[in-house]
Structure formats: structure tokens, C-alpha cells
Amino acid sequence: MTPKDVLQFAKENECTMVDVKFQDFLGLWQHYTRPIQQLDESSFEAGFGFDGSSIRGWQPIHASDMLVVPDPLTARVDPFPREKTLHLIGNIKDPITGEPYSRDPRYIAQKAEAYLKSTGLGDTAYFGPEAEFFIFDEVRFDQTKNSGFYIVDSVEGRWNSGRDEQPNLGYKPRYKEGYFPCPPVDSLNDLRNEMVLELMRVGIEVELQHHEVATAGQGEIDIKFAPLVVQGDNLQWFKYILKNVAFRNGKTITFMPKPLFEDNGSGMHVHQSIWKAGTNQFAGDKYGGMSQMALWYIGGILKHAPALCAICNPSTNSYKRLVPGYEAPVNLAYSSRNRSASVRIPMYSTNPKAKRIEYRTPDPSCNGYLAFSAMLMAGLDGIEKRMDPGEPLDKDIYGLSPEELRDVPSTPGSLSAALHSLEADHEFLLKGDVFTEDVIETWIEYKKKNEVDAVAMRPVPWEFALYYDC
């Protein structure tokens, strides 16, 4: 779609406003809205100015002016504002030099795609995220100098089986038994269908939706694989649509990896493959029907997994899910079919077009553009250096003895440890100038100061149960 096409599209859809969205450094969409008359063909070259110092992880106040330049290929009608609104995703530029901004996550994803092409290994990297989430009826939290608490609640929560609901009808998923139940136990099927329809209206192809393992409204909606940058856009749409559909129905959604104690957390398994001239480069005659290239790609993912965690599992809460011996795949091994390995080779189909790897460690608190880019760079490093992933581990990892697990590496145990891993191992991300030293340093510094240290300094309720009478 050209700028001229976008203006015609807005006219045909009777849009009265234009909303330009872009992603902050950590992964949340930011936006501002203008009357549609403020948009013309020159806007797609000149862009619009804004204050970059107010965006997390971006510019200092003495160099705050920045430009957001709308991408005409992203034109959609936003389904949520009362006024008919044209939606555009913007790329960030420096107003002085006109150069793309190095900390713009979308630009990093664009560079990752360009780097893949420059290697000659492929022309397209496909990604298919399976982002899990919780739908709650209420959330309350606060932290003061002398108190701290959180409460989430859901009519589906098993803890409400004894609550006087006048009447309580009893259909509440058991802990860890919420996978695939039919209504009325699955009380949110209609709401997820509504989310699916809104996703499809903005052009995102959906494969399926279902209730997930945990009680209290855990769900999953799978969107079809797409090229890296497009899928980064799609994941932003995904979160935006799910949150707003829930909100208009009096519900609230979280993509926090671990909002509940002693029940399953939310992961984001990411399917990925490399294609060249319309041919899947991951299909072959090696283990699991994979090519040698695919096995080397797996080797790169496993080698760099501790560093990847700092980007693909970027919250302190992520490591409440990544706990050895529980449901999350923390063991850095690969296997076909085996879902206890961090890298799985799905075996649903023998069709070469369906051959892919599934990296199961990431969670949906991540920034999609950065996470997909980092995974691609790790995999490409594995291919370029011919990294042997070792022998597959086809046993149930959760059932292995400590002796059998001794030689199987695992993911870091905290965000702090993951950031240390990234600090020590990030050269693979710098190839092709995809990530820069400034981006890595800023990411680590921001995460340590604003998240790791901030959480470490605050007492939590359970510490009172453990230590108050010491």
C-alpha cells in the first residue's frame, strides 16, 4: 500500500482520526491521535515529532526531539475508538540526521531480516508465537513504605469453589486441569471467540483458541506464522486486541508469566524456520526430519540460551515460571515430540513445509521484535559456526534423576543471572549491526536499575510468614 493508497483507504472507511503507534524499548505500544486532515502523502516522509525523553529507555532530555514516520504497509482500521480511526505503525528516526533510531525495536527487527538475507542462508525467517495469558475479573495491587499486596480473582478460580455466589454453580477448573475443558467449565469460550474475530478483522490469521492448563481463565490463541517484522507487528496487535476486548467486557488480561502460585504460568512457545526462494531450509533427512542447517540452528539457540533469556524472559516474574522440576522447559536440550525439552521438533506433519523448531522457553512478557530478532541471530550464529546440538533427549526430562540431569544445562535462575549471561555473551547479536553495544548496555542497565534492584529492595508478604518471629 502506497501513501496515496492509505489516504484512499482512510476515505473509503470514513476515518475521521489517524492513530500512530510505536513500541517503546521494553515492548509496550505508545500512541497519539490526530484528525485525519493532518495526514497527507508528505507525512510518510517527514513524519511527526514527539518527545523521546518520555519514552522508557530512550533519549535524554537534552536530546529529546524525535520523529515517528508512519509505515503505509501497516494501515488498518482500529476496531476500538468510537471515532472511525486509521491505525498506522511508525518507525522512529532522528530529526537531525534522518537516520533510523538504533533503540527502536522495530528497526532492530528490520535489520535482523536484512542480515539473514546478507548471509545467503535464506530470504525469510518465519515465526509463530503461542502466547498464553490469564483473563481475570479483578486485579488489585499496591506497595507502600509499610505494606505490600496483590490480589487477582476470577469467577473460574478453583479457590472460589466454596464462595457464596448466589448460586455458586461449581464449574471451576481444577488446579493444573484447565487444558481443553468444554463449557460450562470453560466459561470464557465466547470471549476468546470475540478476540479471534477482532484479530481476523485486522488481517491476522488465527489457527485456534482454547483454555489453557491453569485455573482462573488461562487461555491461548495461536496466530499463523509470519515473517519476522510482520509477526512483531502482529504480536503488538495481539496484545492490544486481547486487552481491549477483555476491557470492554469488564475483564482484565495479563501476559505476566506467573501471576498465580502453584499453578501453571504463561509461556510463549515460538515456532521458527528459515526459507529461501520458497523452500523450507529446515526440512531434511536428519533427526526428526530436519536438515543439518536446522540442527545447527538448534545448536545456536541452546548455546546462547542463557543470554537469550535476558531478552526472551525479560521480567523478574519470568523466573517464577522458569523453575527446575515444574512445568516450564528449563533444561537446554532438544527432542522431537518431547515437550519437556526447551527445543522441540513438532511431529504433527511429515510435509516438508511444516518442518520447524519450537523454542519453548520464552514468555509473553517479552518484546516480540527483540525476542524474534535475538532468536534468529542465535540460530544463524549456530549455522555459521556449525554448532553441534549434541544428542537429542527423548526421555521425560521431568522424570530424570539428578545424576542423569547433571550434564544437561539449564536456564538462568533469575533475571539478574540472565542479564549477566547477556553481558558476557552478546557478540552474536552485534553481527550486521542488528543489535548495537548501546542497545545491549541500555537494556542491561535499565533492567538492573528499574526491575532487578527495585524488586530486590522490597519485602514481600511471604517473608513475613518466614521471618517475622525470628
Catalytic site positions:
51, 130, 132, 212, 220, 269, 339, 358, 360
What own/partner pairs with CB < 8 Å and gap ≥ 24 does 179-184 have?
179/210, 179/211, 179/212, 179/213, 180/210, 180/211, 181/211
What is d(CA 344, CA 405) in angstroms, rounded to the nearest whole number? 18
What is d(CA 374, CA 380) in angstroms, rounded to the nearest whole number? 10
What is d(CA 33, CA 28) in angstroms, rounded to the nearest whole number? 17
Cis, peptide link before residue 129, omega less than 30° from 0: no
What is d(CA 287, CA 261) in angstroms, rounded to the nearest whole number? 38
DSSP notation for 323-341: -TTSSS--B--EEES-TTS
**Angle at CA 155, nearest 5°, toward 152 and 158?**
80
What is d(CA 155, CA 223) in angstroms, rounded to the nearest whole number? 27
370 Rama sector, left if φ>0, alpha if ψ -120 to 50, beta otherwise: alpha
Look at the block and give the residue holding cell 502523502. 41
What is d(CA 17, CA 83) in angstroms, rounded to the nearest whole number? 7
Tell me the one-letter amino acid at 59. Answer: Q
Q: For 267, phi and psi rounded to 5 degrees? A: -105, 180
What is d(CA 260, CA 81) in angstroms, rounded to the nearest whole number? 32
